Amino acid sequence: MLTTDVLIVGYGPVGEMLTILLAQRGLTVTAVERWATPYNFPRAVSYDGEASRVLAAAGVADRLGPVVESSGEYTFKNGFGRTLLHVKVTGNGPMGWPDSVSFYQPGLEALLAERGAELPGVTVLRPYQVTGLVEHDDRVEVTIAGPDGEEVRAARWVIGCDGANSFVREHLGSGVTDLGFTYDWLVCDVVPHEAREFKPNNLQVCDPARPRTAVSAGPGHRRWEFMRVPGESREEFESAANVWRLLGLFDITPDNATLERYGVYTTQACSAGRWRSGRILLAGDAAHVMPPFMGQGMSSGFRDALNLAWKLDLVHRGLANEALLDTYQEERCAHVQHAIRMSMDSGTVICETDRAAAAGRDAAMLAELRRRTARPRTRSLLEPLSGGILHSGCEAAGAPMPQGRVEVDGRAGLFDEVVGTGFVLLCAEDPDDLLDADARAFLDTLGTRVVRIVPAGAPVPGSGAAPTAFDLDDVYLPHLKRYDAVAVLVRPDFYVFGTAADPAVVPALVEDLRRQIRRG
């Protein structure tokens, strides 16, 4: 019986990402995918700055150029063409990457698969389907059906990344909470025959007669979506003639564009009640599905993957008890609920078909637009963690750690690239004066990057064991000052575990991390 550390069911973008993050940490991974070839059409078309940071951690940031572009502008208009909301995405956000990127999903998946194939210990089986799971104290026996019949493989852990109709979730017997946010949308993926500028690059038309969307799907690709309105039969709605009629509203015809695919998608807003049972876990759409209006589906799945990867790694290395994995759902479910609520709120604005209600919405949004200054007020998707592995009583605990450029030993770039990823202890003073031998030894077992941060242009501090990072973008020292901190301990998923205001309590901060990951 063949054994792997982790068997992943489903090899879409979340399964691919999880495979990479685990394999980079030295675990053996077997991914089982039921389809012989990747699905060659886009589903997601945008992701956020946090997802970009995870992609960089997976080693593919320098390969993404051909499949991504800046999302540029997001504009909401009403049925009369009046602007209700306008957001322009410029430069890099707090994660060190643009807050929104438009991308071509088949191209991204191909790059992730390419990266996975480069890593030792990765096996991808397709077309194979998982048909049975039997859990034991030390393993899960997985029955897999393939072209040559059935076989049984053993894995220490099984993770279901097998989508909204997850076999793994069904095996767990996990109930699903459905918030009932269902609308039918006709999704049309199009390749224009000639390069053409679309202004705005991303448009939502909040027209009660026909809510519709026109957005980038990556370089050379566009997506148009149209909502089915009351009184319209689905058969009529999804006919080829209707598709071209609706695309004609945007001057898209068979003469100037190729229709790659079209189909009706029904929005959902739901999450599984249980994401883990023993050695079996869920991630991505198997654990949660949300409306597409904030582009958070794949981004949320990437957050799942990174959260789960670093915790499984610690358990695998014997540095943490299995109880650490219970914090996975605790932390991620709260985040997901925030993303689902924001997606539903945005969808409620877009999907309104009652003319009187739409008029009231327009009036409220136009009034809000008039009140706004040059910088729009928006709810952040960078939601802090509210529980789990966090230093109690610390204001900064759970906050996303921003990223800027630093310089170390003459090399300049983004912090993650120059210093590295994993646990990070960032200090405003010499770490040798802040850490005792026991704290230093524990951080070393975790592979922690211990770094001293100093202002750009400052004299190089005296010799010490820790590298010195110059704060080129003035990101890190103001962040420490905001929390009156001499040191900040950051988790591998870029969230702050905690800070220390007094040099004398830095060892206690480190000890609290040790206690929490070894709990249970």
**Quick one: pLDDT at residue 150?**
96
**Quick one: pLDDT at residue 381?**
63
Compute φ and ψ for 80, nearest 5 degrees: -100, 5
Mean pLDDT of 396-424: 97
- Three-state helix/strand/coil letters over 256-286: CEEEEEEEEEECCCEEECCCEECCEEECHHH
The pTM for the full model equals 0.96
21's CB contacts (< 8 A; 6+ apart) are: 57, 58, 305, 306, 309, 310
pLDDT band with cut points at 50, 70 and 90 for residue 520: low
Mean pLDDT of 237-243: 95
Mean pLDDT of 186-209: 96
pLDDT band with cut points at 50, 70 and 90 for residue 378: very low
pLDDT band with cut points at 50, 70 and 90 for residue 135: very high
- Three-state DSSP class for residue 160: strand
- How far, in Å, CA of 143 to CA of 129, rounded? 8
What are the DSSP calls for 185-217, one per residue? EEEEEEEESS----SSSEEEEE-TT--EEEEE-
**Quick one: pLDDT at residue 377?**
43
pLDDT band with cut points at 50, 70 and 90 for residue 124: very high
Both tokens of 223, joined, read 């997506």
Helix (H) or strand (E) holding 144: strand 140-146
* Residue 446 confidence (pLDDT) above 70: yes
Residue from 380, 381, 398 nearest 389 by CA: 398
- Three-state DSSP class for residue 181: coil
- How far, in Å, CA of 48 to CA of 383, rounded? 13
Amino acid identity for residue 363 in this structure? A
CA-CA-CA-CA dihedral for 305, 489, 441, 405, to nearest 10: 80
Round the average pLDDT of the chain to a whole number and report it.
Answer: 95
* Residue 83 confidence (pLDDT) above 90: yes
Residue from 349, 492, 500 nearest 420 by CA: 492
Mean pLDDT of 242-252: 97
pLDDT band with cut points at 50, 70 and 90 for residue 42: confident
pLDDT band with cut points at 50, 70 and 90 for residue 376: very low
The strand pairing partners of 48, in sequence order, are: 100
The per-residue pLDDT for range 452-486, each reduced to its tens digit, is 999 999 988 876 778 999 999 999 999 999 999 99
The per-residue pLDDT for range 141-192, each reduced to its tens digit, is 999 999 999 999 999 999 999 999 999 999 999 999 999 999 999 999 999 9
Compute φ and ψ for 486, nearest 5 degrees: -95, -20
Both tokens of 494, joined, read 């870029």
**Quick one: pLDDT at residue 382?**
76
pLDDT band with cut points at 50, 70 and 90 for residue 519: confident
* Residue 374 confidence (pLDDT) above 60: no
Higher pLDDT, 393 or 380: 393
The per-residue pLDDT for range 332-361, each reduced to its tens digit, is 999 999 999 999 999 999 999 999 999 999
Both tokens of 43, joined, read 């589903």
* Residue 380 confidence (pLDDT) above 70: no
In this structure, are residues 73 and 200 in contact, taking their beta carbons and an 8 Å threshold?
A: yes
The per-residue pLDDT for range 271-298, each reduced to its tens digit, is 999 999 999 999 999 999 999 999 999 9
In this structure, are residues 381 and 342 in contact, taking their beta carbons and an 8 Å threshold?
A: yes
Residue from 125, 111, 127, 174 nearest 153 by CA: 125
